[in-house]
Amino acid sequence: MPLGVAVIGCGFQGRIHASNVVASRDTELLLCADLDEPRATDLAADTGSTATNRLEDVWDSPHIDLVVIATTTHTHHDLALAGARSGKHILLEKPMAMTVEECLDIERVAEKCGVVVSVGYKFRYTAASVAARRAVPEPRVLHAHTLYDPAPPGASSWVNDPALSGGRLVSSLVHSVDLLRFLSGSEVVRVFAEGQASGASGTSGDPDTATATLLFANGAVGSLIHGTAGASALVSTWSFQTAASGVNATIHDHGRRLVLHRPGEVDEVVIDPTDDPFAAGTAPLLAATVARIAGEDVTVPGPRDGTISLLVSRCIEESIASGQPVEIPEL
Ligand SMILES: NC(=O)c1ccc[n+]([C@@H]2O[C@H](COP(=O)([O-])OP(=O)(O)OC[C@H]3O[C@@H](n4cnc5c(N)ncnc54)[C@H](O)[C@@H]3O)[C@@H](O)[C@H]2O)c1
Burial 58-68 (b: 16+ CB within 10 A, else e): bbebeebbbbb
- Reduce the DSSP state of residue 76 to 3 states and report it: helix
Q: Are strands 27-33 and 3-8 parallel, antiparallel or unpaired?
A: parallel
CB-based pocket (< 6 A), ligand 1: 8-14, 33-36, 39, 55, 70-73, 75, 93-94, 120, 122, 156, 158, 171
Do residues 118 and 128 both lie within one domain? no
- What is the Å distance from ligand 1's center to 278 Cα? 14
- What is the Å distance from ligand 1's center to 190 Cα? 31
Do residues 158 and 291 both lie within one domain? no
Residue 160's pLDDT is 85
Q: Domain count of the chain?
A: 2
- What is the Å distance from ligand 1's center to 70 Cα? 4
Q: Taking a C-beta distance cutoff of 8 angstroms, is the pair 73, 166 a contact?
A: yes
Instruction: Pick from 12, 125, 179 the residue to mutate for probing ligand 1's pocket: most ligand atoms within 8 Å of its CB.
Output: 12
Do residues 138 and 258 both lie within one domain? yes
Strand partners, 191: 214, 326
DSSP string over 17-70: HHHHHHH-TTEEEEEEE-SSHHHHHHHHHHHT-EEES-HHHHHH-TT--EEEE-
Do residues 108 and 67 both lie within one domain? yes
Domain that holds residue 71: 3-122+282-302
Q: Taking a C-beta distance cutoff of 8 angstroms, is the pair 29, 7 a contact?
A: yes
What CATH number does the domain containing 54 carry? 3.40.50.720
Do residues 154 and 229 both lie within one domain? yes
- What is the Å distance from ligand 1's center to 163 Cα? 14
Do residues 78 and 159 both lie within one domain? no
Do residues 258 and 217 both lie within one domain? yes
Residue 96's pLDDT is 98
- What is the Å distance from ligand 1's center to 9 Cα? 5
What CATH number does the domain containing 220 carry? 3.30.360.10
Do residues 176 and 232 both lie within one domain? yes
Do residues 232 and 168 both lie within one domain? yes
Q: Taking a C-beta distance cutoff of 8 angstroms, is the pair 117, 303 a contact?
A: yes
Q: Taking a C-beta distance cutoff of 8 angstroms, is the pair 119, 306 a contact?
A: yes
Do residues 213 and 229 both lie within one domain? yes
In a 13 Å sphere around the CA of 178, the CA atoms on its Cβ side amount to: 29
> In one letter, which amino acid is 27?
T
Instruction: Pick from 43, 71, 156 the residue to mutate for probing ligand 1's pocket: most ligand atoms within 8 Å of its CB.
Output: 71
- Digits of tens for pLDDT over the chain (331 positions)? 999 999 999 999 999 999 999 999 999 999 999 999 999 999 999 999 999 999 999 999 999 999 999 999 999 999 999 999 999 999 999 999 999 999 999 999 999 999 999 999 999 999 999 999 999 999 999 999 999 887 654 556 888 889 999 998 999 999 999 999 999 999 999 999 999 988 775 667 788 999 999 999 999 999 999 998 889 999 999 999 999 999 999 999 999 999 999 999 999 999 999 999 999 999 999 999 999 999 999 999 999 999 999 999 999 999 999 999 999 999 9
| Nearest atom within ligand 1 for CA of residue 36 | 37
Do residues 90 and 130 both lie within one domain? no
Do residues 59 and 150 both lie within one domain? no
- What is the Å distance from ligand 1's center to 172 Cα? 13
